[in-house]
Structure 1
């Protein structure tokens, strides 16, 4: 058998293509319109109606624009509901730029500390390659968000509005990443030259000052105090002076974030259900809580999410948004796109196989704001609040089929009171450590 492709094989491939007229029809459609447009099933909208038996009230649709802050937008969109309730507001938005500033600063410190923790690792080894790959990724995890809020609180959007760089992070992040990689080289070279870790950590302080200055130039200086002003639904004017991020959070959100837990559905053989997991070298605030997940069957994730929404609270979740979904119509359904029919091929991997072979992982975080329960109380579709502005979907909202949830939703965050007694007990287990490159270490 030849190792290469022969001219005879090419002739057979060409004959095979022309044997089926449907391939020519598909070719005409795809070359003119692209794959996804040609593969879109317009009848998916009949199955996935924007009607829900459980539906929550939220604010206007937010827009992360050209940034990877979905995890942050989704979390703040859940928290703002509490602010709106307590202050009787029609609408409200928290500052994503404020937390972005501190996330970049804390991630820079976390990266440099990780470099100091791995000074004896080979530069061309997998660990250092992983650290250098994306030290300042826009993405994040729920526990990372909690660390920021616990330390810095939250502020209204008008206390630290968006800038060109917060709405389009690529440029400034690329320059800060270059500098962090240079700092990593300086620290590792200093170690090789005999400097102590204490000496290297003194050098790190100047490095962080450089990053802080770059952040201020790009995002503005975060407010230490601010005046909060708003008008409620009854037209009553509200003003509070000398507030801080922490005081605003404590007064108007007030959640005990340690009560909120991450449930994942990872079906691979190395991750048994009813066990907890963490990921090495994943975090932002060095002294903050580590990422921790409880792995459960997907139906348990659904039940917990439904309980929380029935109690009036939205649910942060993470999924692989690019699979079987249409951005324009906002439909997430296993039959929303039919590339299998278009190309005449079968995509046959299950959820575990897709994780094992790099075909799927969590890529995006959004918020469940509703669910439709059938006559037997079982979910058949879910209302999703996205952060891509109001043009995609139904004025910014998406609808997810329950089958899509099963296949491509990987994480939900709920208050632990919505778990069973057995599940709460399972949270107390010491977590199993996953390697930094494990798919469950992906950032939304």
Structure 2
């Protein structure tokens, strides 16, 4: 009792030990009041002590919660490289729809390096773009404007360009003649389209002989004139002789795709707007396409890769996956909040969890990828270069992908893309014929 109420006991003793005033008898009522007052004081002090303890607890609790959250931070994705084929430096297409050219030329640069080329190597994307626009403009006019005219194109366009125009080094033609140090093509594309729209209206009743020169003049003003001759390491070249000096056979390359609405092991034209040149691709089952990619990488080849990147599974921080959200929701119900357990997880929570650590992915079939293509869920968004294979901490396979968005993302311009994503969202690939497994190549008859 005394230990629980020390103040009451102490003050009682003090009051009892005070002697009465001289000639006055002790007043029992005063003594009783003193004890009551002391008890009330003790109660107030005890209450203050409790409040102080609660306040301290309130201050400590958030710190403990923060510490707990810190301790349960998601582990993230941790990759270990298995195969890595040499590539050239990361480039930045910036505000231009020229990924098709950046990725294909990056692929050809790796091919040139594979053949033992040791000089400085940086090929001009805008040389190909300039010539491509001229061909596209002429075809647009011949078809009376019934052709997709935009910034996009295909790997076949680059292969065609190398064969027909040749190539020049980047330092001979960087295509930046319009006051910026990065590529910005919206104005250029708009001006070119407006010009062609007037031409196809044929206001004179007959097309003039000047329209092609006028169109080329716009391209020259924005991208610069295409060099006719230039010097590399003291030797003079033109675009064709420089292409020949790089040591690759342009007849060794084939574009490959995988769709069920056309026969397998036959050539087909991929029906997408950016394939304005109507280049053909060899059509194979998706299992064969993946086997070709794997065989290429294992034998020192890279792959130019065209894919849809509009899915949320392809984020802007270096990862491409196809989460199985049903499986993720089951996980959250088992380990997550009461809300997730009883009424299901919010979509935003599922999406967040998918990128916090390796997650279950959908098992992609030929039918699933075809359905996505047929209903416009898979489109020809973006071109990149596959140059390696990596594994996450759970042993799952990813392809290492060189992008052309500068050093974006946590891997500084490199993306890790799961095999499921490649199976689901690949439009087509460009590869060296010699990288194709023999049994598959035999089915292609070349």
Q: TM-score, normalised by structure 1?
A: 0.68
CA change 1:84–1:344 in 2 (3 A) is closer
Aligned to 1:432: none
CA contact (8 A) 1:67 1:169 kept: yes
1:248 maps to what in 2? 242
Q: Is the 8 A contact 1:276 1:293 kept in 2?
A: yes
Give runs of aligned pairs for residues 304-315 of structure 1, distance below 5 A. Answer: 304-315=292-303
1:417 maps to 434
- Once residues 432 and 213 of structure 2 are traced to their aligned partners in structure 1, the CA distance between those partners, rounded to angstroms, is 37
Q: Structure 1 307/295 Cα, relative in aligned 2: closer, same or farther at 3 Å?
A: same
Matching residue of 2:281: 293
Match of 2:267 among 258, 261, 276: 276
Find the aligned partners of 1:423 and 1:142 in 2 and give their Cα distance.
Answer: 21
Is 1:66 matched up with 2:121?
Answer: no
1:227, 1:241 within 8 Å by CA — same for their partners in 2?
A: yes
Aligned counterpart in structure 1 of residue 118 of structure 2, from 88, 98, 103 = 88
Of 128, 147, 152, which residue of structure 1 is paired with 2:165? 152
For 2:161 and 2:322, locate their aligned partners in 1 and report how far apart those are by CA, in whole Å: 36
Q: Which residue of 2 aligns with 1:109?
A: 138
Which of 200, 209, 227 aligns to 1:184? It is 200
2:420 pairs with 1:403: yes
1:208 aligns with 2:225: no
Q: Which runs of 5+ in 2 are unaligned?
A: 1-72, 330-344, 352-361
Secondary structure of the 1:322 match is: coil
3-state DSSP class of the match of 1:351? helix
Distance 1:282 1:92, change over 3 A: closer
Stretches of structure 1 that go unaligned for 5 or more consecutive residues are 1-41, 116-127, 191-199, 229-238, 430-444
The Cα shift of 1:282 comes to 7.2
1:351 aligns with 2:365: no
1:209 Cα offset (Å): 0.9
Partner of 1:98: 127
**Quick check: 1:325–1:332 contact (8 Å CA) kept in 2?**
yes
Shift of 1:247: 1.0
**CA-to-aligned-CA distance 1:223-251 (integer Å, 9 cap, x gap):** 101111xxxxxxxxxx1332111111111
Q: For the residues of structure 2 that align with 1:369 and 1:88, how far apart are their CA atoms?
A: 19
SS in 2 for 1:59: coil
Q: Shift of residue 82 of structure 1?
A: 4.1
CA contact 2:320–2:418 (8 Å) conserved in 1 = yes
Cα distance in 2 between the residues matched to 1:426 and 1:341: 47
SS in structure 1 opposite 2:143?
A: helix
Question: Quick one: structure 1 residues 208 and 426, their matched pair in 2 at CA, closer, same or farther if it must change by over 3 Å?
Answer: farther
State the shift of 1:178 in Å: 1.0
Counterpart residue number, 1:318: 306
CA distance in 1, matches of 2:185, 2:176: 10
- Name the CA shift for 1:303/1:57 in 2 (closer, same or farther; >3 Å): same
Q: 1:279 to 1:57 in 2, by over 3 A?
A: closer
Q: Secondary structure at the match of 2:210?
A: helix
Bigger relative contact order, structure 1 or 2 (CA pairs below 8 A, ≥6 apart): 1
Where do 4+ consecutive residues of structure 1 move more than 6 Å? 336-340, 343-349
**Structure 2 residue 256 is matched with structure 1 residue 263:** yes
Q: Residues 425-444 of structure 1, C-alpha deviation per residue, up to 9 Å, x if partnerless?
A: 55469xxxxxxxxxxxxxxx
Distance 1:300 1:393, change over 3 A: farther
Change (3 A) 1:425 1:184: farther
Conservation of the 8 A alpha-carbon contact between 2:295 and 2:437 = no
2:388 to 370, 378, 385: 370
Render the CA deviation track for 1:63-100: whole Å, top value 9, x for unaligned: 000001111001111222344464425x6321111111
Distance 1:61-1:138 versus aligned 2 partners, 3 A rule: same
Conserved 8 A contact 1:275-1:295: yes
For the pair shown, the structure with the greater C-alpha radius of gyration is 2
Deviations 1:119-139 (A, max 9, x none): xxxxxxxxx6x52xx42x211
TM-score calculated relative to the size of structure 2: 0.67
After TM superposition, give the deviation of residue 257 of structure 1 in Å.
2.2
Encode CA deviations 1:383-442: one digit per residue, 9 max, x unaligned: 00000001224011000011111111221111223335564455469xxxxxxxxxxxxx
Distance 2:324 2:208 in 1: 50
Partners of 1:345 and 1:157 lie apart in 2 by 44
Secondary structure in structure 2 of the residue aligned to 1:306: helix
The total of aligned residue pairs comes to 337
